[in-house]
Amino acid sequence: MSVYISSEELRELIRTGEKLTLLAALWDARAGQARSTFHAAHIPTAQFCDMSVHLVGTPTAQVGRNPLPSLERLSETFGFWGIAEDRPVIVYDTGHGVFAARVWWTLRWAGVKNVRILDGGFAAWEALGFDTVAGPGPVNVHSELVAQRGQAPTIDDVHDYKGLLIDARQPNRYRGIKERLDKKAGHIPGARNLPVQDLFDADGMVKPSDEILGLFAQLGVTHTTDPSSAVVYSGSGNHSAKLLAAAVHAGLPMLTHYIGGWSQWAADVTNPVSREI
């Protein structure tokens, strides 16, 4: 099943009363602004997903800027949203798709199998003139789905890793030319750069699968690649989640995801850094 779903497909599912869980993944540094944005306008039946509360843990230098939440918090959130094994989950955001992709990956990591992302997000929905609604969103029946701990490498695992490392950040951050978020500029030694924006068009829509497969093939990643033989990272797990979503959408395996990313690696002054300046 493809990862990305079109606005037309989603509207038809909503129109026909298909049972699904629709999440609006929003983030804003200003307190309460993300919820206000959701209340002002969202896709019918959507529930509010506060990225700063529901799906990330407490950031520190030791774990990175956007660590995974505890399984207990995830299970509570699943119950609140009414996520169930027999009900598909569809996620969108109001930006460039990185938050929706992070939700997609986190839910998949925690054992939720049927998760998709709205291609182009809220902007694509609005561009087609489809209906939006205001208010707090629906009240759902509580579910009892328990989050399961998936596989994700630690920073120690990455230290010892000898396989392919893929850095999903912009080239200027990868090369060490510019860094405004983390303590040091550059990339993990040996990493190859595949900027996630290369997998999407100017409107934020996922590119055709053959184009995505071609870009990954240049790194040696194909349908037969062992997922443990390639590790993907970004600054703190958001852009790398979007890269993984595009890869799986194109038919590639779910590669290994180093969530701590550059924010965790660069916070330790003893870690080696490579630059291309």
Please check the confidence at residue 1 and state whether its pLDDT lies above 80. no
Is residue 140 a part of any domain in this protein?
A: no
Residues 87 and 160 placed together within one structural domain of the fold = no
Q: Distance between CA 277 and CA 272 in Å, rounded?
A: 16
Q: Distance between CA 54 and CA 74 in Å, rounded?
A: 7
What is the per-residue pLDDT for 47? 97
128-140 mean pLDDT? 93
Is residue 213 a part of any domain in this protein?
A: yes
Is residue 69 a part of any domain in this protein?
A: yes
Please check the confidence at residue 84 and state whether its pLDDT lies above 80. yes
Is residue 149 a part of any domain in this protein?
A: no
Please check the confidence at residue 142 and state whether its pLDDT lies above 90. no
Q: 44 falls in which pLDDT band (50, 70, 90)?
A: very high
List CB contacts of 113: < 8 A, sequence separation 6 or more.
85
What is the per-residue pLDDT for 31? 84
Percent of the chain with pLDDT over 70: 100
**Range(s) of the domain holding residue 86:** 4-128
C-alpha angle 258/63/255, rounded to 5°?
Answer: 10
User: pLDDT, tens digit, for every residue of 241-260?
Assistant: 999 999 999 999 999 999 99
Question: Are the CB atoms for 75 and 111 separated by under 8 Å?
Answer: no
18-40 mean pLDDT? 94
Beta bridge partners of 90: 22, 116
Q: Which of 128, 147, 176 is the last residue of a domain?
A: 128
Residues 163 and 123 placed together within one structural domain of the fold = no
Residues 167 and 98 placed together within one structural domain of the fold = no
Q: How far is CA 98 from CA 92, 196, 251, in A?
A: 9, 10, 20
Q: 24 falls in which pLDDT band (50, 70, 90)?
A: very high
What is the per-residue pLDDT for 173? 95
205-217 mean pLDDT? 98
Is residue 144 a part of any domain in this protein?
A: no
DSSP state of 115: E
Residues 97 and 192 placed together within one structural domain of the fold = no
Is residue 150 a part of any domain in this protein?
A: no
Please check the confidence at residue 13 and state whether its pLDDT lies above 90. yes
Residues 9 and 105 placed together within one structural domain of the fold = yes
Q: 140 falls in which pLDDT band (50, 70, 90)?
A: confident
User: pLDDT, tens digit, for every residue of 144-200?
Assistant: 899 999 999 999 999 999 999 999 999 999 999 989 888 899 999 999 999 999 999
What is the per-residue pLDDT for 53? 87
| CATH number of the domain within which 13 lies | 3.40.250.10
35-47 mean pLDDT? 97
Residues 169 and 249 placed together within one structural domain of the fold = yes
Please check the confidence at residue 141 and state whether its pLDDT lies above 90. no
Residues 169 and 111 placed together within one structural domain of the fold = no
Is residue 138 a part of any domain in this protein?
A: no
Q: How many domains does the chain have?
A: 2
Q: What is the pTM of this model?
A: 0.96
Residues 223 and 115 placed together within one structural domain of the fold = no
